[in-house]
Amino acid sequence: MEMTDIPFGTTDWSQVPATEHPGDSGSATWRTRQFGSVRVRMVEYSPGYVADHWCDRGHVLLVLEGTLTTELANGETVTLGAGSSYQVGHDTEPHRSRTQDGARLFVVD
């Protein structure tokens, strides 16, 4: 991720339109800003959310609220609580996420 030609700015996330993305179960609500090639999102997973795909996009992800479990294609599972983050590069390790009780995330990719 290269962040160039992005002027200083602020975001009131409550004013960013939400889009719904269904999972295998539950849903994800995204509020998305795009800055050139950099996508920045506030994401809320409903209780019982399970991703409907393996993702190979790179991310920096911070859990703001709740608990997030991420499964890697190699079988490893990582569980993160509020205040924890992960980072993964593009086409590095396919991953998919789920949450039992819901989670709120800040994601840059």
Domain count, the chain: 1
Residue 36 maps to a domain: yes
Residue 3 lies in a domain: no
Under DSSP, the state recorded for 13 is: G
Q: Residue 84 is part of which domain span?
A: 20-108
3-state secondary structure of 47: coil
In a domain, 42, yes or no: yes
- The alpha carbon torsion through 7, 64, 57, 4 (nearest 10 deg) reads 10
**Inside any domain, residue 61:** yes
- The tens digit of pLDDT for each residue in 39-94 reads 999 999 999 999 999 999 999 999 999 999 999 999 999 999 999 999 999 999 99
Residue 97, Cβ neighbours under 10 Å: how many? 22
Confidence of residue 1 (pLDDT cuts 50, 70, 90): confident
